[in-house]
Amino acid sequence: MSYISVIIAALNEEAAIAKVIESVPKDLANEIVVVDNGSKDRTAEVARGAGARVVKEPIPGYGRAFRAGLRSISPECEIVVFLDGDGSDCPEMMDQLVNPIIGGTVDFVIGSRTRGSRDPGSMNFHQVIAGYMIGFILHMLYGVHSTDMGPFRAIRRDTLDRLNLREETYGWPLEMQMRAARARVRTMEVPVDYRRRAGGHSKIAGTVRGSVLAATRILVTLARISIQRH
């Protein structure tokens, strides 16, 4: 069985983080790392109590948080799974992401929220449209098919290392997909369910400012990667 590391990004998610950790299939995950990205609440304490190892990354940044998690995982890790700590993702569906990689079919699996079953209100209309629009652009640029930039995803560790990701903000998932497409990484998309967050407030869809900042970073990342040769 492959060694699987699960990295969960969390910012002020004390209401949800324990259930997220408990929902990760323990027969698949060899380690669970929660990256506390500057929380002001008891996120770190609750995460430790639920059995996760906590890594501190005090400087805010979505990509920065996941990169901090990557630096802390076991050298034995073969597959990395990423998800958010707000309770929206469904860790119990992790087998659908990792099994194709374990079986050698692909090296990178993206969980598509737009193709799965979504709780009413779990995604705003503009989030759904953005997923399809980015998918259209990726198809035009690289010939790949994509419907979402969802956080729930799995990738081979050695494949991820070769992508040399540098984005530190909300553009990080898109950078991963773009660099994987450019490198002709064997990739597939699978439907995953998506729930309303279990507590707290969304850092992206919850405010106009958050939505604008996230959209800006995604567009900047799209432009930057598309004009780069490497």
Please, what are the domains in the chain?
A: 4-227 (3.90.550.10)
Q: Which residues contact 57 (CB under 8 A, 6 or more apart)?
A: 35, 36, 37, 38, 64, 65, 68
pLDDT tops 90 at residue 78: yes
Query: In angstroms, rounded to a whole number, what is the distance separating the alpha carbons of residues 110 and 98?
Result: 10
pLDDT tops 80 at residue 230: no
Task: Give 127's pLDDT tier (boundaries 50, 70, 90).
Answer: confident
Q: pLDDT value at position 54?
A: 98
The predicted-structure confidence for 169-207, as pLDDT tens digits, reads as follows 999 999 999 999 999 999 999 999 999 987 666 555 545
User: Cα–Cα distances in Å, from 219 out to 2, 6, 113, 125, 145?
Assistant: 35, 28, 20, 18, 19
The predicted-structure confidence for 17-40, as pLDDT tens digits, reads as follows 999 999 999 999 999 999 999 999
Q: pLDDT value at position 68?
A: 98
pLDDT tops 90 at residue 125: no
Q: pLDDT value at position 206?
A: 47
Q: Which of 57-61, 110-114, 136-140, 210-214 has the lowest mean pLDDT?
A: 210-214
Rounded to the nearest 5°, which phi and psi values hold at 2? -70, 150
Q: pLDDT value at position 211?
A: 61
Task: Give 121's pLDDT tier (boundaries 50, 70, 90).
Answer: confident
